[in-house]
């Protein structure tokens, strides 16, 4: 039984539109494709016959996900990091929050409450403070992406030009065994939900768009 490897690179097929169907550029039919498969259709904007539809697909918008000065927390698994570096990061069990002004704190001055980031798949966390509003840019049906946003990484005492850059810098320093230090910022960064008072992945904000 053939089991496709989902990690393999994508396949590119050059196609041509003819009345009523799509064929390969050499005139052959398309190969059999599994039902339910999602794919991106990339073509020149000028190829769209309906100007209204073209304009709709080219529309851009922006949405503020979080305001400036918000603290977000990047999930890390610091295997291979020095003990000193590990101790500089926040334990998942210590990352708590309380709305009360008289809340007790951990030695790292992290406010205490019942809800924590334990069970989110990360052993440690690092605080990043947004220097600018965190903006999600949306264009047509393309995947939304984050605009650049100045960030301050407290544990490194350094600035990053974007949240993605901050995640890369933190991973490079505290996850030395990782082959790649890039990652899905929407899954690795957590924010405090003002309504429920608990911690949510950034991906949930994107999902509300």
* pLDDT value of position 124: 93
Residues 88 and 55 in one domain: no
For residue 128, pLDDT over 70 is answered with yes
Residues 98 and 179 in one domain: yes
Residue 3 counted as domain residue: no
Question: What residues have CB less than 8 Å from 81, skipping those under 6 apart?
Answer: 173, 174, 175, 176
Q: Where are the beta strands (DSSP E) in the chain?
A: 15-18, 21-24, 60-66, 71-76, 90-91, 124-130, 134-139, 145-146, 151-153, 158-160, 189-192, 199-201
Residues 167 and 89 in one domain: yes
For residue 155, pLDDT over 90 is answered with yes
Share of the chain above pLDDT 70, in %: 80
Given 32, 59, 86, the domain boundary residue is 59
The per-residue pLDDT for range 52-90, each reduced to its tens digit, is: 777 676 677 888 999 999 999 999 999 889 999 999 999
* pLDDT value of position 101: 43
Total number of domains in the chain: 2
Residue 14 counted as domain residue: no
User: Is 83 within 8 Å of 89 (Cβ atoms)?
Assistant: no
Residues 184 and 129 in one domain: yes
Which residue range forms the structural domain that includes residue 114? 62-207
* pLDDT value of position 204: 86
* pLDDT value of position 207: 66
CA-based angle 100:128:160, to the nearest 5?
A: 160
Residues 32 and 80 in one domain: no
Residues 69 and 119 in one domain: yes
Q: pTM of the entire structure?
A: 0.67
Residues 98 and 183 in one domain: yes
* pLDDT value of position 103: 44
Q: What is the mean pLDDT of residues 163-181?
A: 92
Given 10, 33, 59, the domain boundary residue is 59
* pLDDT value of position 112: 46
The per-residue pLDDT for range 2-47, each reduced to its tens digit, is: 445 555 567 777 888 887 778 888 888 788 888 887 777 777 777 7
* pLDDT value of position 96: 66
The per-residue pLDDT for range 97-127, each reduced to its tens digit, is: 544 444 445 555 555 444 567 777 898 999 9
């Amino acid at each position: 039984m053939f089991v496709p490897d989902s990690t393999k690179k994508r396949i590119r097929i050059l196609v041509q539109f003819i009345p009523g169907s799509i064929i390969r550029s050499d005139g052959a039919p398309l190969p059999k494709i599994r039902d339910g498969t999602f794919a991106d259709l990339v073509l020149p904007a000028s190829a769209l016959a309906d100007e209204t539809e073209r304009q709709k697909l080219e529309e851009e918008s922006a949405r503020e996900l979080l305001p400036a000065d918000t603290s977000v927390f990047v999930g890390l698994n610091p295997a291979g990091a020095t003990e000193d570096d590990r101790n500089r990061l926040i334990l998942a069990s210590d990352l708590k929050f309380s709305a009360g002004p008289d809340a007790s704190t951990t030695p790292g001055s992290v406010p205490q409450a019942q809800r924590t980031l334990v069970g989110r798949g990360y052993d440690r966390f690092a605080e990043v403070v947004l220097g600018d509003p965190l903006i999600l840019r949306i264009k047509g049906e393309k995947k939304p992406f984050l605009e650049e946003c100045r960030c301050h990484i407290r544990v490194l005492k350094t600035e990053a030009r974007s949240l993605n850059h901050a995640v890369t810098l933190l991973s490079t320093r505290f996850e030395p065994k990782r082959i790649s230090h890039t990652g899905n910022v929407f899954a690795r960064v957590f924010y405090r939900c003002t309504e429920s008072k608990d911690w949510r992945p950034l991906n949930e904000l994107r999902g509300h768009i």
